[in-house]
A and B are shown apart, each in its own frame.
Chain A
Amino acid sequence: MSEDTLGSTPPPPPTPPEPPVRPPTPVTRKWHGPSLVWLVPIVALAVGVALLIRAVLSTGPQVTIDFHSASGLRPGKTEVRYKEVVVGRVEAVTLSEKRDHVQVTVRLDRSVSNIAVEDTRFWVVRPRIDTAGVSGIETLFSGAYIGVDAGESTKQKRHFTGLENPPFVLRGEPGRGFVLRTEDLGSLDVGSPILYKRNRVGRVVGYNLDPLIDELSVQIFIEAPYDKLVNSQTRFWNASGVEVSLNSSGLKVDTQTLASVISGGISFERPQGTQGLPPASDGSRFKLFSDRKSALAPPDGPPLRVRMVFDQSVRGLDIDAPVDFLGIEIGVIRAIRLDYDGKRKRFPVEVEAEIYPTRLGAVRDSMRQDGDDDKRRDTTLLQRLVQNGLRAQARTGNLLTGQMYVALDFPGKVQKAELDTSTAIPAIPTVPGTLADVQPQIAEIVAKVNKVPFDEIGRNLNETLAQANQAISQLRPEAQASLAEVRRTLQSVQETLQRADRSLLDPSAPIQRNAEQTLQDLQRAAQSLRVLTDYLQRHPESLLRGKPDDAKIPASPERR
Chain B
Amino acid sequence: MSDAAVHTGSQMKLYGCPTCGRVSQLLRPPAGDAPLLCPRCATPLHHRRPRSLQRTWAYLIAASILYIPANLLPIMSTSNVFEGETLHTILGGIEELRHGGDWMLALIVFIASIAVPLLKIGALLVLAITAQRRSRWKQVERAQLYRMIEAVGHWSMLDVFVVVLLVGTIRFGALGGVMPEPGLLAFGAVVVLTMLAAGSFDPRLIWPEEEDKDRPS
Stretch at the interface among B4-12, B148-156, B162-170: B4-12
Among A7, A37, A52, which residue has its beta carbon within 8 angstroms of that of B59? A37
- CB of B69 within 8 A of chain A? yes
Tell me if A35 and B186 are in contact (CB < 8 A): no
Residues on the A chain within 8 Å of B83, using CB: 77, 142-143
Residues on the B chain within 8 Å of A77, using CB: 83-84, 86
Residues on the B chain within 8 Å of A52, using CB: 68-69, 72-73
Closest to A15 in B: B25
Tell me if A20 and B39 are in contact (CB < 8 A): yes
Tell me if A24 and B36 are in contact (CB < 8 A): yes
Tell me if B34 and A17 are in contact (CB < 8 A): no
Tell me if B7 and A43 are in contact (CB < 8 A): no
Residues on the A chain within 8 Å of B58, using CB: 35, 37-38, 40-41
Stretch at the interface among A25-33, A120-128, A456-464: A25-33
Contact flag A44-B193 (CB < 8 Å), given A37-B58, A52-B72: yes
- CB of B211 within 8 A of chain A? no
Among A45, A54, A142, which residue has its beta carbon within 8 angstroms of that of B62? A45
Please report which residues of chain A, range 397-451, place their CB below 8 angstroms from some CB of chain B when the two chains form the complex: none
Please report which residues of chain B, range 108-160, place their CB below 8 angstroms from some CB of chain A when the two chains form the complex: none
Residues on the A chain within 8 Å of B33, using CB: 26-27, 29
Residues on the A chain within 8 Å of B81, using CB: 141-142
Q: How far is the CB of A553 from chain B (nearest CB, A)?
A: 140
- CB of B100 within 8 A of chain A? no
- CB of B55 within 8 A of chain A? yes
Tell me if A48 and B84 are in contact (CB < 8 A): no
Tell me if B42 and A41 are in contact (CB < 8 A): no
Contact flag A41-B72 (CB < 8 Å), given A11-B5, A22-B37, A26-B34: no
In the A-B complex, the 7 residue pairs with the smallest Cβ-Cβ separation, listed nearest first, are A44-B62, A21-B39, A41-B62, A41-B61, A17-B25, A26-B34, A24-B30
Q: Contact mask B18-31 → A, CB, 8 Å, 1/0?
A: 00000111110011
Residues on the B chain within 8 Å of A7, using CB: 1, 3, 6
Residues on the B chain within 8 Å of A27, using CB: 33-35
25 interchain pairs (CB within 8 A)? Answer: A21-B39, A21-B40, A24-B35, A27-B34, A35-B54, A35-B58, A37-B51, A37-B54, A40-B196, A41-B59, A41-B65, A44-B66, A44-B193, A47-B185, A48-B186, A51-B73, A52-B68, A55-B73, A55-B182, A77-B83, A77-B84, A79-B84, A86-B84, A141-B82, A145-B84
Tell me if B27 and A20 are in contact (CB < 8 A): yes
Residues of B whose CB lies within 8 Å of any CB of A are: 1, 3, 5-7, 12, 23-27, 30-37, 39-40, 42, 51, 54-55, 58-59, 61-63, 65-66, 68-69, 72-73, 81-86, 182-183, 185-186, 189, 193, 196, 200
Instruction: State in angstroms the CA–CA spacing of A269 and B189 once bound together.
Output: 69
Tell me if A48 and B68 are in contact (CB < 8 A): yes
- CB of A16 within 8 A of chain B? yes
Q: How far is the CB of A456 from chain B (nearest CB, A)?
A: 101
Tell me if A17 and B6 are in contact (CB < 8 A): no
Given contacts A16-B27, A142-B84, 19 further A-B contacts (CB under 8 A): A20-B37, A25-B34, A25-B37, A26-B32, A26-B34, A35-B51, A35-B55, A37-B51, A38-B58, A40-B58, A40-B196, A44-B189, A47-B66, A47-B186, A51-B183, A79-B84, A141-B82, A142-B82, A145-B84
Residues on the B chain within 8 Å of A3, using CB: 1
- CB of A18 within 8 A of chain B? yes
Tell me if A54 and B32 are in contact (CB < 8 A): no
Please report which residues of chain A, range 1-15, place their CB below 8 angstroms from some CB of chain B when the two chains form the complex: 3, 7, 11, 14
Instruction: State in angstroms the CA–CA spacing of A27 and B32 once bound together.
Output: 9
- CB of A554 within 8 A of chain B? no
Instruction: State in angstroms the CA–CA spacing of A142 and B80 once bound together.
Output: 9
Residues on the A chain within 8 Å of B63, using CB: 44
Closest to B63 in A: A44
Q: Contact mask A68-88 → B, CB, 8 Å, 1/0?
A: 000000000101000000100
Tell me if B6 and A22 are in contact (CB < 8 A): no
Residues on the B chain within 8 Å of A26, using CB: 31-34
Closest to B40 in A: A21
- CB of A19 within 8 A of chain B? yes
Among B54, B66, B85, B200, the most chain A Cβ lie within 10 Å of the Cβ of B66
Tell me if B25 and A16 are in contact (CB < 8 A): yes
Closest to B38 in A: A20
Q: How far is the CB of B48 from chain A (nearest CB, A)?
A: 14
Q: How far is the CB of A127 from chain B (nearest CB, A)?
A: 13
Q: How far is the CB of B202 from chain A (nearest CB, A)?
A: 14
Residues on the B chain within 8 Å of A14, using CB: 12
Q: How far is the CB of A76 from chain B (nearest CB, A)?
A: 8
Q: How far is the CB of A141 from chain B (nearest CB, A)?
A: 5
Q: How far is the CB of A52 from chain B (nearest CB, A)?
A: 5
Instruction: State in angstroms the CA–CA spacing of A25 and B182 once bound together.
Output: 47
Residues on the A chain within 8 Å of B185, using CB: 47, 51
Instruction: State in angstroms the CA–CA spacing of A123 and B173 once bound together.
Output: 29
Residues on the A chain within 8 Å of B65, using CB: 41, 44-45, 48
- CB of A34 within 8 A of chain B? yes
Tell me if A18 and B39 are in contact (CB < 8 A): yes
Instruction: State in angstroms the CA–CA spacing of A77 and B83 once bound together.
Output: 8
Tell me if B54 and A38 are in contact (CB < 8 A): yes
Residues on the B chain within 8 Å of A16, using CB: 25, 27
Among A19, A24, A86, which residue has its beta carbon within 8 angstroms of that of B34? A24
Q: How far is the CB of B187 from chain A (nearest CB, A)?
A: 11
Instruction: State in angstroms the CA–CA spacing of A26 and B35 once bound together.
Output: 7
Q: How far is the CB of A321 from chain B (nearest CB, A)?
A: 60
Tell me if B37 and A24 are in contact (CB < 8 A): yes
Q: How far is the CB of B211 from chain A (nearest CB, A)?
A: 18
Residues on the B chain within 8 Å of A19, using CB: 27
Residues on the B chain within 8 Å of A45, using CB: 62, 65
Residues on the A chain within 8 Å of B31, using CB: 24, 26
Instruction: State in angstroms the CA–CA spacing of A119 and B185 once bound together.
Output: 41
Tell me if A40 and B59 are in contact (CB < 8 A): yes
Instruction: State in angstroms the CA–CA spacing of A16 and B28 once bound together.
Output: 12
Among A17, A38, A44, A79, the most chain B Cβ lie within 10 Å of the Cβ of A44
Tell me if A51 and B30 are in contact (CB < 8 A): no
